[in-house]
Amino acid sequence: MQNKPRLLVTRRLPETVEALFQIQYDVDLNEMDRPLTADELRQAMTEYDAICPTITDKLGADVIEVPGCRVSILANFGAGVDHIDLEAAKRAGIAVTNTPDVLSEATADLALLLMLMASRRAGEGERELRAGKWTGWRPSHMVGQSLAGKKLGIVGFGRIGRATAQRARDGVGMKIAYYSRREAEDAGDAQYFPTLKALAADVDVLSLHIPGGADTRHIINAEILSVMKSTSIIVNTARGSSIDEKALAKALSSGKIAAAGLDVYEQEPAVHSELLACENAVLLPHLGSATIETRTAMGMCSAANLEAFFAGKVPKDKVV
């Protein structure tokens, strides 16, 4: 019988996923469940046939192009692949797959949650209550904003952006607008804006659904924030690198915009100290896909991509 491929799973995954990997591969789990260092990743590249990495594994060219590389596939557990140098993988002849689709609904749920929390000052309210500072009901207490009838601007009209738009339209009664490189033919009554600046100036809530990486770095910057309404809210469940956090903290603390709901940060797990100081920022620790159903589906997706690859087929979610 042929030897099973050697697989490294870099973080602990749902039990059912790990059990499946254990049947199909000669698998090592990262029992300590901590991010691997560049040296550990370099060594792993020479010892395994496949790696199932996550966003906490920084797979730059310095890791991928290690001499004596044995890995032939990086089956990423996650949709975003900005932590992997795709050009280096291409040069090294290493396949890269991801887990799109299966996390769209969970991430859109979280975008809506952040929108509602930010507009209704839910984080501030809970902090006040837990600190024993709530003095009782009064008409002027922690008054927020209603979202019904307001306009949501979606930046990046892909699967997660559309799922967020659907929730905001059907569940909350918001109007939808979007910015993307091309106008979508099937956008229904969503209004298209050919520039981010025009969208940002027009909407009440701006929600980001674009990939990370050099192309989108700091696309939300002081210039974009300066054209937004003073009542507007910004939501990010995509990648922290898309927002200049220092500029956002300034806009929040000066009242240039009303609030923000963030799930992702420029230097995770660090959060800019000026953002932490903003009462009008709802800050979650990258929970977009964190439901057991979604994490299991993501694992099954990585497993299907690995299985196809080792069967000599083209994996469904091939990125490289």
Catalytic (active-site) positions: 239, 268, 286
The only residue of 80, 153, 261, 315 in contact with ligand 8YV, by rule CB under 6 A: 80
Phi-psi region of 173 (alpha: psi -120 to 50; beta: other; left: phi over 0): left
- Please give the residue whose beta carbon sits closest to ligand 8YV in the complex: 78
Pick the closer one to ligand 8YV by CB: 78 or 153: 78
Residue 241 contacts ligand 8YV per CB under 6 A: no
Pick the closer one to ligand 8YV by CB: 257 or 301: 301
Residue 265 contacts ligand 8YV per CB under 6 A: no
Pick the closer one to ligand 8YV by CB: 249 or 264: 264
Residue 77 contacts ligand 8YV per CB under 6 A: yes
- Please choose, out of 74-82, 118-126, 137-145, 147-155, the segment that lies near ligand 8YV by the rule CB under 6 A: 74-82
Specify burial of residue 213 (Cβ count, 10 A radius: 0-12, 13-18, 19+): middle
The only residue of 9, 41, 74, 103 in contact with ligand 8YV, by rule CB under 6 A: 103
Residue 54 contacts ligand 8YV per CB under 6 A: yes
Torsion over CA: 151, 252, 55, 66 (sign) = positive
Pick the closer one to ligand 8YV by CB: 98 or 180: 98
- Please choose, out of 27-35, 39-47, 72-80, 307-315, the segment that lies near ligand 8YV by the rule CB under 6 A: 72-80
Least gap, CB of 152 to ligand 8YV (angstroms): 21
Residue 288 contacts ligand 8YV per CB under 6 A: yes
List the structure tokens of 139: 């008409």
Given the rule CB under 6 A, which residues bind ligand 8YV? Answer: 54-55, 77-80, 103, 288-289
